[in-house]
């Protein structure tokens, strides 16, 4: 989840009384580790092949929305990684997207956003956040199988991505800046960089510059003059659960406890937000990983009318395919307060 306007992003992701919906510890599954498949609870196996009909075109591009006019690599990368990390076959989609993006990149090699044109796609804007997009691009390239690497020039692309991401490192803070034009650091972007480079020094920098001990919450930006608004769902409230969506944990904290606290405080906001905003599907996936089937079912019920609509991104589509189908009887209004 990202800075700037939500649809453009600037993110793919990352909930009633506590005892009524808090996951049974026996049902918990491991928190997602970046780049590795997770263990899926018995009976909830995801589909074996990702279906992106209407999002992926013949050229290999993957649009943000169904039949949408724009490609934002951040969303495509987030979607492919979510599926791949959960054991879904994305080899063909992944290879075609890598080949398309490698050819579509401007001469500078910096990731851009693309608009539909008469002959395919044209670069029409800079990536919303270079650091986050490069981190996901690097992760995707690292996972290319050996047999496909020469044909996709994966080693060359990976080396270039590493060089570009290192250029965003700020030695004084130990964090990564958004871009050369935006020389400040964002909390969620740096967590995504951590998924590519999970180094102790970066973890320490995350705590040093974003954790607010008195408020017991993470701030979202180091931008001078930035004013936090804790009552706002995005980015402040979503920022507090984002560590679990990336597999990073604050020192001394327990994933299940962090999840339960966030859901107790913000579950209602998250579900209500869907009526006028985006579905924030990665949170539903996190609920599934924590055995919180009540929240998953509530999300599925409210998300169903949104599917393939103007507020449904390719990341949401991947999550919908990963989750088991909603079974009858549907959740009640009281279940989803």
Q: CATH number, domain at 194?
A: 1.50.10
The pLDDT tens digits of the residues spanning 208-227 come to: 999 999 999 999 999 999 99
315 pLDDT exceeds 60? yes
235 pLDDT exceeds 80? yes
Q: Tell me, what's the pLDDT at 109?
A: 72
- pLDDT interval class at 28 (50, 70, 90): very low
Nearest by Cα to 14 from 191, 234, 244: 244
Identify whether 251 is part of a domain: yes
Q: Tell me, what's the pLDDT at 12?
A: 36
Integer Cα distance of 82 and 282 in angstroms: 9
201 pLDDT exceeds 70? yes
Integer Cα distance of 74 and 187 in angstroms: 16
Q: Tell me, what's the pLDDT at 228?
A: 95
Nearest by Cα to 9 from 115, 164, 113: 113
User: At what angle are helices 281-289 and 255-273 packed, to 10 degrees?
Assistant: 140
Which residue did the predictor score with more confidence, 18 or 166? 166
Lowest mean pLDDT among 95-109, 158-172, 254-268, 315-329: 95-109
Q: What is the mean pLDDT of the chain?
A: 87
**3-state SS, residue 336:** helix
> What is the pLDDT averaged over residues 142-169?
96
Identify whether 112 is part of a domain: yes
Please give the angle made by the CA atoms of 146, 38 and 260, to the nearest 5 degrees. 145
Overall number of domains in the chain = 1
- pLDDT interval class at 119 (50, 70, 90): confident
Residue 57 phi, psi (nearest 5): -105, 180
Identify whether 6 is part of a domain: no
Q: Tell me, what's the pLDDT at 41?
A: 39
Identify whether 11 is part of a domain: no
Range of the domain at 61: 18-336
- pLDDT interval class at 118 (50, 70, 90): confident
Identify whether 9 is part of a domain: no
> What is the pLDDT averaged over residues 66-93?
97
Which residue do the tokens 């044909």 mark? 151
Identify whether 8 is part of a domain: no
Share of the chain above pLDDT 70, in %: 85
In a 10 Å sphere around its CB, with 0-12 CB exposed, 13-18 middle and 19+ buried, how is residue 77 labelled? buried
33 pLDDT exceeds 80? no
Q: Tell me, what's the pLDDT at 317?
A: 98
45 pLDDT exceeds 60? no
Lowest mean pLDDT among 57-71, 107-121, 161-175, 217-231: 107-121
Integer Cα distance of 191 and 136 in angstroms: 11
Q: Which DSSP category does 236 fall into?
A: I
Identify whether 240 is part of a domain: yes
The sign of the dihedral angle between the CA atoms of 137, 141, 144, 149 is: positive
Q: Tell me, what's the pLDDT at 32?
A: 34
The runs of H, that is alpha helices, within the chain are 18-21, 73-85, 91-104, 130-142, 149-152, 154-166, 187-196, 200-210, 238-246, 255-273, 281-289, 293-303, 314-322
Integer Cα distance of 92 and 307 in angstroms: 24
Identify whether 12 is part of a domain: no
Residue 47 phi, psi (nearest 5): -60, 150
259 pLDDT exceeds 90? yes
The pLDDT tens digits of the residues spanning 10-20 come to: 333 332 222 22
Q: Tell me, what's the pLDDT at 18?
A: 26
Which residue did the predictor score with more confidence, 99 or 4? 99
Q: Tell me, what's the pLDDT at 114?
A: 96
Q: Tell me, what's the pLDDT at 40?
A: 39
């Amino acid at each position: 989840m990202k800075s700037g306007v939500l649809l453009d992003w600037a993110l793919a992701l990352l909930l009633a009384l506590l005892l009524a919906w808090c996951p049974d510890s026996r049902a918990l599954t491991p928190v997602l580790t970046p780049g590795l498949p997770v263990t899926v609870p018995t009976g909830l196996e995801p589909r074996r092949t990702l279906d992106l009909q209407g999002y992926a075109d013949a050229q290999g591009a993957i649009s943000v929305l169904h039949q949408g006019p724009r490609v934002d690599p951040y969303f495509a990368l987030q979607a492919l990684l979510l599926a791949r990390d959960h054991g879904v076959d994305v080899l063909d989609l992944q290879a075609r997207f890598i080949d398309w993006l490698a050819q579509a990149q401007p001469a500078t090699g910096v990731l851009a956003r693309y608009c539909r044109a008469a002959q395919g796609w044209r670069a029409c804007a800079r990536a919303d956040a270079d650091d986050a997009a490069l981190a996901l691009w690097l992760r995707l390239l690292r996972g290319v199988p050996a047999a496909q690497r020469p044909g996709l020039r994966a080693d060359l692309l990976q080396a270039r991505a590493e060089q570009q991401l290192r250029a965003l490192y700020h030695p004084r803070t130990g964090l990564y800046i958004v871009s050369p034009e935006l020389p400040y650091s964002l909390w969620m972007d740096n967590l995504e960089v951590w998924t590519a480079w999970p180094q102790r020094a970066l973890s320490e920098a995350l705590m040093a510059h974003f954790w607010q001990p008195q408020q017991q919450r993470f701030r979202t930006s180091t931008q001078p003059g930035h004013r936090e608004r804790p009552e706002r769902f995005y980015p402040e409230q979503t920022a507090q659960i984002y560590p679990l969506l990336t597999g990073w944990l604050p020192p001394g904290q327990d994933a299940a406890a962090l999840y339960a606290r966030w859901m107790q405080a913000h579950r209602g906001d998250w579900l209500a937000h869907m009526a006028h905003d985006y579905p924030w599907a990665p949170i539903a996936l996190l609920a599934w990983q924590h055995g919180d089937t009540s929240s998953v079912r509530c999300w599925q019920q409210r998300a169903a009318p949104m599917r393939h609509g103007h507020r449904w991104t390719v990341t949401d589509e991947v999550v919908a395919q990963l989750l088991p189908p909603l079974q009858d009887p549907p959740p009640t209004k009281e279940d989803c307060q």
